[in-house]
Amino acid sequence: MIDFIKKNIFIATIFLITLLLGFVTFFTFIDKGFIELNDQNLQILLIGNIGLLLLLFFMIFKEVRNSLKIDIDISGAKSNRKYITFFALFTLIPSILISLFSLFLLSFALDKYLDKKITTAVNNSYEVAKSYTEEVRTKTQSEIILIAYDLNKSANFLKTNINQFKSFLNTQKLIRGMDEVHIIDINGNLLLSTLKDINLYQPPLQDALEMVSNDKRPLKIINAYKNQSASIIKLENFDEKYLYIVKYLDEKISQYLIESEEALNFYYTVLNKQTGIKISFAFIYLVVVTLLLFLSISIAIRFSSRFFRSINNLIIASSNIGMGNLDTKVPEIKADKDMEILNKNFNLMTEKLKTQQNKLIINERHEAWENLARKLAHEIKNPLTPIQLTIDKLKNEYSKKIESQDEDKFDKGLKIITKQIKQIENLVNEFSDFARMPKPILKDNNLVSIINENINLIKELDSKILIEFNYDNEKIILNSDYEQLSRVFFNLIKNSIESIQEKRIKNIDFNGKIDIKLNNNTSNIDFIIIDNGLGFEIFEKNIKNILDPYFTTKEKGTGLGLAIVNKIINDHNGSINFIPIQDGAKIEINFVK
């Protein structure tokens, strides 16, 4: 997910900016944003919204097109596109339906919200609160006239008795239902007050005092935000003194009036801008649906490419296997766990098929060569006996009759014929051995002991060659035929010695070395032999034929040694590999337990 966000960081940025601008437009329409509500600002915002939305569409289209080119294989493009189309439609159709349904609900809700009855109720509730507040404010204006009248009437008495004056003010406060009654001067300074704590006194505005200084009429002071209504009037019978009264409004009613006024303003804003609100809401919803659609298509592409690429690889691999190419491998790609297991099992299956096919081919080849060797041995061996008898007869009958000067030539010729017959007999014996390869008699044998015995035996051929044998366990047991495996190890070590000896002919001071390793693993046993002899350079190009019967590079070789070795290893559920290395040769045998 993090990689997906990094890959599409530009699209995510455009989406966030577009979505943010959509909300700014929405709040501007309802006059709750930081941008002033006017036609010019709304026009600029809508143009910006359309431009960003088109840019978002273009970037999404471009990204989807690139993803289709990169992530979808050509061989499976039809299936992939069909899969992605269905996936996108399953996202798009519900999104469109929900979008239309949401717009319908919004339109229906706005119509109900802006219904005439609701409009009347909103207006009436505001008028009720306003009437109450206005009534309280009007009362202060009427009551101040009555209090001023009583004060002016009793001016002579009150001027001489300050205590009576205070008592008179408190009485007027209670009778008239006021909260504060004050006598102040032209500067608003407090002269007398009904307040117990005069620090709570707040003088009227100087402008109000100046207005009533030359006017006998009372002045109503409105300050609803401070939850009070006040009035001020000049006292005629008092020198430059003014009556100032305050009536507290109900705090809840005052707050309700403020909230009602804000709600009323908001209500009429929505009423006037309902079309714009619907447009901005549709725009925001379109932006969100567009992003969701892009996400669904991107996820579909990624999922489809992971799924169908594996399916396509399996189809191609199975087709190649059907045509006989068992070297085919399904590429190991990152996919779902089940698909990875399927790919892995498929490759294991092909490896087993190839191994079984190779074993079958080897067995068929050996059977064919065994039949040929048996026939050759029979056909060659039949005339050897009469030839040998004839030579003996010639030697007995004619050796005394030949003149002395030709006797040596005669004996030399007979010896050459006899020698060649012996070589033919050895070849026939090897043919017979190859043809009579018995089935292995399997028992638990310690491979370490078998290899050590053959090393000790073969050291006699050349004591100058250093042979090192390393193994990871004293006992490495394999269910095997002792004599046949002994023949395998003997032949391989003997071949390494002969390779080193041939290399030493060109360099008398050459030091030969043979490294042998035997590793006991969980499911298999590895035998590795490395020598610094001639290696496989002379037949590197046709190294695959090295195991074929009668394939040899030695002057006196029959080419049956490695063929017999391969047959024995194959009968023991193993495999052999010849690996050319620099300055030598490496042979690996793997026995499956």
Per-residue pLDDT band for 132 (boundaries 50, 70, 90) equals low
Strands 466-471 and 513-520: parallel
Q: Please, are residues 184 and 175 in contact by the beta-carbon 8 Å criterion?
A: no
For 11, 12, 25, 61, the CA distances from 18, given in Å and listed in that order, are 10, 10, 10, 17
Residue 94 pLDDT exceeds 70: yes
Q: What's the N-to-C CA distance of the chain in angstroms? A: 45
pLDDT for 39 equals: 64
Report for 101-115, 291-305, 563-577: range of highest mean pLDDT: 563-577
Look at 109-113, 186-190, 574-578 and tell me which has the smallest mean pLDDT. 109-113
Residue 118 pLDDT exceeds 80: no
pLDDT for 508 equals: 83
pLDDT for 30 equals: 63
Residue 349 pLDDT exceeds 70: yes
Strands 190-193 and 477-480: unpaired
Higher pLDDT: 226 or 324? It is: 324
CA–CA separation, 499 and 465 (whole Å): 11
Per-residue pLDDT band for 37 (boundaries 50, 70, 90) equals low
pLDDT for 225 equals: 42
- From the list 516, 524, 523, 526, the residue with the least C-alpha distance to 576 is 526
Higher pLDDT: 192 or 353? It is: 192
Look at 407-411, 565-569, 570-574 and tell me which has the smallest mean pLDDT. 407-411
CATH T-level topology, domain 136-265 = Beta-Lactamase (3.30.450)
pLDDT in tens, 506-539: 888 888 999 999 999 988 999 999 999 888 765 6
Residue 335 pLDDT exceeds 70: no
Higher pLDDT: 163 or 434? It is: 163
CA–CA separation, 5 and 472 (whole Å): 51
Higher pLDDT: 16 or 31? It is: 16
Mean pLDDT across the chain, nearest whole number? 76
Sequence-distant contacts of 21-27: CB under 8 A, at least 24 apart: 21/45, 21/48, 21/49, 21/52, 22/49, 22/280, 22/283, 22/284, 22/287, 23/284, 25/49, 25/276, 25/280, 25/283, 26/277, 26/280, 26/281, 26/284
Q: Can you state the angle between helices 482-506 and 447-458, rounded to 10 degrees?
A: 40
Per-residue pLDDT band for 224 (boundaries 50, 70, 90) equals very low
With vertex at residue 87, the alpha carbon angle to CA 82 and CA 90, rounded to the nearest 5 degrees, is: 125
CA–CA separation, 564 and 369 (whole Å): 11
Higher pLDDT: 369 or 211? It is: 211
Higher pLDDT: 543 or 358? It is: 358
pLDDT for 518 equals: 95
pLDDT for 475 equals: 92
Per-domain residue ranges of the chain: 2-113+273-314, 136-265, 358-435, 443-592
Q: Please, are residues 193 and 180 in contact by the beta-carbon 8 Å criterion?
A: yes
pLDDT in tens, 257-286: 666 666 666 666 655 666 666 666 666 667
| AA identity, residue 439 | K
Higher pLDDT: 519 or 435? It is: 519
pLDDT for 277 equals: 62
DSSP secondary structure letter of residue 76: T
pLDDT for 342 equals: 78
pLDDT in tens, 357-380: 777 776 776 676 666 666 666 667
Report for 411-425, 435-449, 471-485, 549-563: range of highest mean pLDDT: 471-485
Residue 49 pLDDT exceeds 70: yes
Higher pLDDT: 236 or 134? It is: 236
Q: Which CATH entry fits the domain spanning 443-592: 3.90.330.10, 3.60.21.10, 3.30.565.10, 3.10.20.740?
A: 3.30.565.10
Return all residues near 48 (Cβ < 8 A) that are at least 6 apart: 21
CA–CA separation, 39 and 45 (whole Å): 10
pLDDT in tens, 285-312: 677 777 666 666 666 666 666 666 677 7
Look at 350-354, 370-374, 413-417, 575-579 and tell me which has the smallest mean pLDDT. 370-374
- The encoded tokens of residue 36 equal 């002033």
Strands 466-471 and 524-531: unpaired
Higher pLDDT: 510 or 121? It is: 510
Backbone angles phi, psi at 437, to 5 degrees: -60, 115
Task: Determine the 3-state secondary structure of 442 from DSSP.
Answer: coil
pLDDT for 482 equals: 93
Report for 129-138, 318-327, 425-434, 485-494: range of highest mean pLDDT: 485-494
